Chains A and B, each alone.
Chain A
């Protein structure tokens, strides 16, 4: 396994093309996310957001071009790449007959990690899951609670790269704000974060850069911390979504 280059971007996508079902979903996509940077990828349905994540996770092989995570090629070194990624799916699935602790211990155990109870508590505190819920079976957990468990997993893995798939969809405003604060905290720790989302305001709140993906290419990129026309961006996002 080639050693990752510390000076290289955490995520580097070059000329990425992906064909699925006879259609070209990604067309020469270029994207870079550096350590300690939050990149929000916005786009309508079918824009190619989930495909981008699938390529980065090594679930999909590019038709052409390359995708690298911490310098590792996602196509040829998929297992190693996954070991460096914390992944938060849109709908967090957990084993419902296991508690939050048991879910975390099991999934992290698969990657070789052995978190202690106090380490798990620290991560769950950071994620905001109430202490009384941690020993309960997750069958009755809300989406937000599940997400907090998944975030705790990502924190415990100390992965240099975090991929977030629609992380605030279905969360109430308070939970969404908490989540955005958590993302900001992770950025401070040097984690490179790529989130795909429909939530422009949420993205503007925590992202360093926002990319507007449409038809498989990034048609516009903005830095919300500088001067940005959110309303204009929102309008263009809507136009991109409707084609």
Chain B
């Protein structure tokens, strides 16, 4: 057995005989295991609930009686975002953004403009997920186990005894790194088992699972290297512990919060209230279809009459009220889309900036990677909103088209005065059943992996930095023994 492996094996034997280390590792492994089991069961349960409610919402929409199409436009429809297979592992922004939208005519759901950027690890402290356990608690346990690995041995003279056997200082450091990495593997094991289970039985894509497993392994390795290096470099074991705990607090607690706040301050977004006011102001500018003097709708009417070669809306072969509804929806939706795109663009910039700030913390880097690979990042939420909006526009315009083509202008105008007209404007309920159901198309595995690459690159950078620190610490350790 090489000296490095011998030192590592001895370190693990010592840990196995130290009650505090036993308790710390057992606790975090138990937490990780519970989080993994919870992730699997809650993921399945949550998915079942969403599927059940989506089916119920579809049934209720399809089961509506004969109605005027515009009544159905206002009846609306609920859509649920299917839970990504890895959402139990890392819920990401899902808990903050919500996964349910109510779709109806003339309005775009307000969640589009929700303040979804506010998520941080502080808020997420309530969620026991494998991602949280590894991101926040894993490094802390590694610190408590590893802070004295070299500092204490230097203080006691054991380091000198090692070197006196002809072992190099870097070999001693490497042995400690291997031992602490084995502990990190133990901490990671329950989550890895959960990931493999999700890949085999939960429909999680294997490449994304591999990306998560690799990313978290690198993340913990970074902490192993940092912990061991600081233990080698610090003047005493006590100062090593203080330095490492302070570093953990900054990296795992403060940095995510600060990164969000800095991104928000550097690229401020309009609040939801400001956005709502601005939208209402712009809506008024679009025009009023009920106002006979409204310039836009007067021009629209003129162009319709001209294209059909008639002089009165009553002479049109289609129901002009349906055309008006379609035009109104087109205009308002375009306005909503503009605001949503502006908001999305701002949020993307903020996310990009927060990612760059990930240079200051490996936790930020792994969080970015984890959410992207799990499909629970902000981009996934935007994808859902955009697809839901496209679906809303399709069904609303379909109903408006039904109003234009299946109803006469005369019946539609007199439906409240003439009971027969009122009966004729009620469309056969088969039309609701023919409305397509909402089918969410998640990001492809390739897209998810591409989104996770920046986080992986940052983690790689951190691993390089931590490796260099360890290399330098080995040199200092040899000198420090004299």
- The reply on A64 being an interface residue by CB < 8 A is no
Most buried by A among B18, B165, B481: B165
Interface 1/0s, chain B 155-181, versus A by CB < 8 A? 011101111111110000000000000
Which residue on B lies nearest to A81, using beta carbons?
B166
Contact A107 B165 (CB under 8 A): yes
Q: Which of B130-165 contact A (CB under 8 A)?
A: 153, 156-158, 160-165
- The reply on A204 being an interface residue by CB < 8 A is no
Knowing A54-B482, A93-B158 are in contact, say whether A106-B164 is a contact too (CB < 8 A): no
Which residue on A lies nearest to B162, using beta carbons?
A110
A92 to B167, alpha carbons, bound, how many Å? 18
Knowing A60-B482, A108-B165, A110-B165 are in contact, say whether A89-B160 is a contact too (CB < 8 A): yes
Which residue on B lies nearest to A90, using beta carbons?
B157
- The reply on B458 being an interface residue by CB < 8 A is no
A97 to B163, alpha carbons, bound, how many Å? 20
Contact B482 A110 (CB under 8 A): no
Knowing A59-B481, A93-B156, A97-B17 are in contact, say whether A111-B161 is a contact too (CB < 8 A): no
Q: Which of B1-52 contact A (CB under 8 A)?
A: 1, 3, 6-7, 10, 13-14, 17-18
Which chain B residues lie closer than 8 Å to A95 at the CB level?
10, 14, 158
A79 to B153, alpha carbons, bound, how many Å? 19
Which chain B residues lie closer than 8 Å to A110 at the CB level?
3, 6-7, 162, 165-167
Contacting A107 at CB < 8 Å: which of B1, B161, B482? B161
Which chain B residues lie closer than 8 Å to A97 at the CB level?
14, 17-18
Contact A89 B157 (CB under 8 A): yes
CB distance from A167 to the nearest CB of B (A): 14
Which residue on B lies nearest to A137, using beta carbons?
B17
A79 to B166, alpha carbons, bound, how many Å? 5
- Majority-rule SS of B interface residues: helix
Which chain A residues lie closer than 8 Å to B166 at the CB level?
79-80, 82-83, 110-111
A107 to B158, alpha carbons, bound, how many Å? 10
Which chain B residues lie closer than 8 Å to A111 at the CB level?
165-167
Contact A89 B161 (CB under 8 A): yes
Contact A59 B17 (CB under 8 A): no
A96 to B412, alpha carbons, bound, how many Å? 93
Contacting B161 at CB < 8 Å: which of A59, A83, A93? A93
CB distance from B122 to the nearest CB of A (A): 38
Which chain B residues lie closer than 8 Å to A54 at the CB level?
482
CB distance from B3 to the nearest CB of A (A): 5
Contact A57 B164 (CB under 8 A): yes
A89 to B6, alpha carbons, bound, how many Å? 22
Which chain A residues lie closer than 8 Å to B481 at the CB level?
59
Most buried by A among B1, B17, B158, B164: B164
CB distance from B176 to the nearest CB of A (A): 14
Which residue on A lies nearest to B159, using beta carbons?
A93
Which chain A residues lie closer than 8 Å to B164 at the CB level?
57, 82, 85, 87
Contacting B6 at CB < 8 Å: which of A60, A93, A94, A109? A109
A82 to B13, alpha carbons, bound, how many Å? 26
- The reply on A171 being an interface residue by CB < 8 A is no
A85 to B161, alpha carbons, bound, how many Å? 11
Q: Which of A58-99 contact B (CB under 8 A)?
A: 59-60, 79-80, 82-83, 85, 87, 89, 91-95, 97-98
Q: Which of B440-482 contact A (CB under 8 A)?
A: 478, 481-482
Which residue on A lies nearest to B1, using beta carbons?
A109
Which chain B residues lie closer than 8 Å to A59 at the CB level?
160, 163, 478, 481-482
Which chain B residues lie closer than 8 Å to A83 at the CB level?
166
CB distance from A54 to the nearest CB of B (A): 5
Contact B157 A91 (CB under 8 A): yes
Contact B163 A57 (CB under 8 A): yes
A107 to B166, alpha carbons, bound, how many Å? 10
Most buried by B among A87, A106, A111: A106
A178 to B161, alpha carbons, bound, how many Å? 23
Which chain B residues lie closer than 8 Å to A82 at the CB level?
163-166
Which chain A residues lie closer than 8 Å to B167 at the CB level?
79, 110-111
A83 to B167, alpha carbons, bound, how many Å? 9
Which residue on B lies nearest to A87, using beta carbons?
B164
Which residue on B lies nearest to A154, using beta carbons?
B164
Which chain A residues lie closer than 8 Å to B6 at the CB level?
106, 109-110
Contact B14 A79 (CB under 8 A): no
Most buried by B among A93, A107, A108, A110: A110
Q: Can you report 27 residue pairs joining A to B where beta carbons are below 8 Å apart? A: A57-B164, A57-B482, A59-B160, A59-B163, A59-B478, A59-B482, A60-B482, A79-B167, A82-B164, A82-B165, A82-B166, A85-B164, A87-B160, A87-B161, A89-B161, A91-B157, A93-B158, A93-B161, A94-B158, A95-B158, A98-B14, A106-B6, A107-B165, A109-B1, A110-B6, A110-B7, A110-B165
New A-B pairs, 17, CB < 8 Å, besides A79-B167, A82-B163, A94-B158: A57-B164, A59-B160, A59-B481, A59-B482, A82-B164, A91-B157, A93-B153, A93-B157, A95-B14, A97-B17, A98-B13, A107-B162, A108-B165, A109-B6, A110-B7, A110-B166, A110-B167
Which chain B residues have a beta carbon within 8 Å of chain A's beta carbons? 1, 3, 6-7, 10, 13-14, 17-18, 153, 156-158, 160-168, 478, 481-482
Closest 9 CB pairs of A and B: A59-B482, A93-B157, A83-B166, A110-B165, A87-B164, A97-B17, A82-B166, A93-B156, A60-B482
